């Protein structure tokens, strides 16, 4: 590997993806800076562009976002400020300073039409406020910085505590049966795998536009929960029995897509990295969850 050079700015500091980026980026960049809300609040006009202009990074990965899907239903304007207006401002500052810009988006830009897996040419059709604000962010980023890369991913997990596997393992400590929806399909993504591909895109200056990180094997959330519990039992930990339930019996403020599976046609060519398999990542996530208990 060549000697690390250049400066990378990570927008986001405390989230699971930002943490994975901070751990992995220093082997590629000479200086890595992670900016949280206190330093670069994307919801406050002018804050992120001031930081980019002052520090002048060579590359920027935007891992900051309003990710509270249910809360976005009643706070869509606030979510839009971060996910779209702030992202667009950061992309504009990147273009003006000559920085490479890589933006993280979501499978939730799909869901209003059947037919997944969806590739990069599929027409987005979000069904909740979070998806709408993230789609608006994609458009704002590409309008401000046409050379930017946008990487869509689904169900990011790390074992850090706030992700789906962590929730399942935590619930299994006190429950023998857990209901999980079996009519929503996804392709969960290990945070380290996503971080590796974002870093590769930050270094691949010829790539631009939309790309998908389509982790596999793709499955229902109930099946993913079963995989979490199977792994826990192998490690000598409690594993609950999954009770598959339909979405209509698990009502939440925001609708979830029945099928938001992603198909990737561009990622490997752009980065040299294939779409990841989440199963090795789940083993690492369980190790992380156990160490953080």
Q: Spell out the per-residue pLDDT of the chain, length 293, in tens.
A: 567 879 999 999 999 999 999 999 999 999 999 999 999 999 999 999 999 999 999 999 999 999 999 999 999 999 999 999 999 999 999 999 999 999 999 999 999 887 889 999 999 999 999 999 999 999 999 999 999 999 999 999 999 989 999 999 999 999 999 999 999 999 999 999 999 999 999 999 889 999 999 999 999 999 999 999 999 999 999 999 999 999 999 999 999 999 999 999 999 999 999 999 999 999 999 999 999 88
Instruction: Provide the sign of the torsion angle of the four alpha carbons 149, 162, 41, 257, taken in this order.
Output: positive
**pTM of structure:** 0.97
Whether 231 is covered by a domain: the verdict is: no
- For residues 153 and 20, what is the distance between their CA atoms, to the nearest angstrom? 15
Q: Is residue 240 part of a domain?
A: no
DSSP state, 39? T
Between strands 185-186 and 219-220, the pairing is antiparallel
Q: Does a structural domain hold residue 218?
A: yes
Confirm whether 135 is domain-assigned. Answer: yes
For residues 263 and 81, the answer to whether their CB atoms sit within 8 Å is: no
Domain CATH for 35: 3.40.50.720
Q: Which domain holds residue 137?
A: 7-223+245-292
Q: Which of 130, 157, 169, 221 is catalytic?
A: 130
Q: Are 202 and 8 in contact (CB under 8 A)?
A: yes
Does the annotation mark 130 as catalytic?
yes
- Of 62, 144, 143, 70, nearest to 108 by C-alpha is 70
Q: Is residue 229 domain-resident?
A: no
CA distance 107 to 67: 12
């Amino acid at each position: 590997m060549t000697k690390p050079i250049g400066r990378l700015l990570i927008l986001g500091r405390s989230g699971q993806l930002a943490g994975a980026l901070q751990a992995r980026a220093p082997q590629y960049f000479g200086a890595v800076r992670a900016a949280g809300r206190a330093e670069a609040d994307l919801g406050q006009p002018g804050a992120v562009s001031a930081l980019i202009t002052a520090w002048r990074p060579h590359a920027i990965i935007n891992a900051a976002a309003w990710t509270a899907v249910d809360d976005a239903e009643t706070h869509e304007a606030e979510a839009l400020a971060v996910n779209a207006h702030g992202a667009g401002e950061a992309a504009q500052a990147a273009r003006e300073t000559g920085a490479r810009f890589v933006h993280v988006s979501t499978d939730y830009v799909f869901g209003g039409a059947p037919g997944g897996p969806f590739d990069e040419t599929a027409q987005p059709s979000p069904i909740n406020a979070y998806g709408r604000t993230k789609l608006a962010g994609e458009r704002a980023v590409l309008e401000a910085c046409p050379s930017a890369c946008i990487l869509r991913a689904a169900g990011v997990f790390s074992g850090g505590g706030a992700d789906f596997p962590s929730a399942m393992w935590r619930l299994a400590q006190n429950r023998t049966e857990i209901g999980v929806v079996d009519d929503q399909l996804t392709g969960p993504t290990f945070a380290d795998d996503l971080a590796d591909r974002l870093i590769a895109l930050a270094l691949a200056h010829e790539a631009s536009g939309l790309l998908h990180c389509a982790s596999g094997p793709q499955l229902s959330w109930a099946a993913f929960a079963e995989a979490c519990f199977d792994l826990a039992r192998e490690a000598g930990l409690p594993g609950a029995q999954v009770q598959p339930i339909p979405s209509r019996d698990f009502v939440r403020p925001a609708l979830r897509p029945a099928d938001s599976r992603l198909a990737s046609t561009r990622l490997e060519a752009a980065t040299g990295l294939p779409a990841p398999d989440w199963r090795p990542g789940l083993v690492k996530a369980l190790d992380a969850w156990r160490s953080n208990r």
